[in-house]
Amino acid sequence: MKNQILLNNSYLPAELQEHLQRFISYYNHQRYHESLDNLTPAECIMDGAGNTGPEAYH
């Protein structure tokens, strides 16, 4: 994460927050994790209705 965030210069706190939110979304919804049997975290906690949006995490 540190290497990827550093590629995006953030001059304001809101810019940094946007970069972090995009990375977290990518990390949880698109990036496959070997430790999760090559699933995304969202796929691992998918609820019975198939929802994997932010509401599924709360």
Cβ–Cβ under 8 Å, residues 31 and 43: no
Alpha carbons 46 and 35: distance in angstroms, whole number: 17
Dihedral angle of Cα 50, 55, 57, 58, to the nearest 10 degrees: -130
pLDDT, residue 51, reads: 55
Token readout for 35 is 């430790």
**Residue among 34, 13, 18, 54 at smallest CA distance from 42:** 54
Q: What tens-digit pLDDT sequence spans the chain (58 residues)? A: 556 555 667 788 898 899 889 999 999 999 999 998 899 989 988 854 555 555 555 4
Model pTM? 0.62
